[in-house]
């Protein structure tokens, strides 16, 4: 099964795709995570992407399409895309790639969330510095204060681009460059929309009802 999770930054794509990857045994392909790893490792792609990401803008289509082409080749059992495609050029390139590999998209799921809620969600989020488990100051605190539920680490980090001013730029980029891919998939009959304003468990239920 091959799935795309679409939606603005902070819509819950990362949280839901972790769950879906585990439940349906899919490879999670999160382009933001891949780019952050490239920045951390100081690779040529990371060096190019760093300033663009910190400005809340989109990394070039050429770079992103290259990354996904390689990643899909290594996900033979099915994948869940989180953060790709983000432009209509990326969506068209993905169609081409899948076609040439004899693969198809089974589901494109949009998480719909109001902009005001997104700002509150993003500005409070952080993750475990060791295992990457996601938390939020208000909505998802660890069971024991300051200790990661998943791995017991006491080190946490916040993303550089989760600052309020950068979040505004990321939302602008979403509306201008990414939202146009929603009609692209709607026209192909593959799009389903879920209410991303609901709580995490309820969004998971909505998605699993679609996937069956």
Q: Give catalytic residues, as residue numbers.
A: 13, 86, 125, 159, 170
Q: What is the DSSP string of 42-53?
A: T-HHHHHHHHHH
Q: Of 20-28, 51-59, 99-107, 199-207, which part binds ligand AMP (CB under 6 A)?
A: 51-59
Footprint on residues 91-130 left by ligand AMP (CB under 6 A): none
Min dist. Cβ of residue 99 to ligand AMP (A):
19
Instruction: State yes or no: residue 204 binds ligand AMP (CB under 6 A).
Output: no
Q: What is the DSSP string of 142-190?
A: -SSTTS-TTT----EE--GGGSHHHHHHHHHHIIIIITTHHHHHHHTT-
Site track 144-173 with ligand AMP (rule: CB under 6 A), x = hit: -----------------x--------x---
Instruction: State yes or no: residue 4 binds ligand AMP (CB under 6 A).
Output: no
The pair of structure tokens assigned to 163 is: 């600052």
171-176-182 Cα angle (round to 5): 95
Which CB atom, from 58 or from 108, has the smaller least distance to ligand AMP?
Answer: 58
For residues 199 and 65, what is the distance between their CA atoms, to the nearest angstrom? 32
Helix (H, G, I), strand (E, B), or coil: what is residue 27? strand
Contact positions vs ligand AMP (CB under 6 A): 9, 31-32, 35, 52-53, 56-59, 64, 83-84, 86, 90, 161, 170
């Amino acid at each position: 099964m091959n799935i795309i999770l679409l939606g603005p930054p902070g819509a819950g794509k990362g949280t839901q795709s972790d769950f879906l990857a585990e439940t349906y045994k899919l490879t999670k392909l999160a382009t933001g995570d891949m780019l952050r790893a490239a920045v951390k490792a100081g690779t040529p792609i990371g060096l190019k992407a760093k300033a663009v990401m910190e400005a809340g803008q989109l990394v070039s289509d050429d770079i992103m399409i290259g990354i996904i082409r390689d990643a899909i080749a290594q996900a033979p059992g099915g994948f869940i895309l989180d953060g790709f495609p983000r432009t209509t050029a990326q969506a068209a390139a993905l169609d081409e790639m899948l076609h040439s590999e004899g693969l198809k998209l089974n589901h494109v799921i949009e998480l719909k969330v109001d902009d005001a809620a997104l700002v509150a969600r993003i500005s409070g989020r952080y993750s475990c510095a060791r295992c990457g488990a996601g938390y939020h100051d208000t909505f998802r605190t660890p069971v024991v204060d300051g200790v990661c539920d998943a791995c017991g680490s006491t080190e946490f980090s916040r993303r550089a681009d989760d600052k309020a001013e950068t979040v505004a730029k990321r939302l602008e980029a979403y509306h201008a460059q990414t939202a146009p891919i929603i009609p692209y998939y709607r026209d192909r009959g593959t799009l389903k929309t879920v209410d991303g304003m609901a709580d995490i468990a309820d969004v998971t239920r909505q998605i699993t009802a679609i996937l069956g």
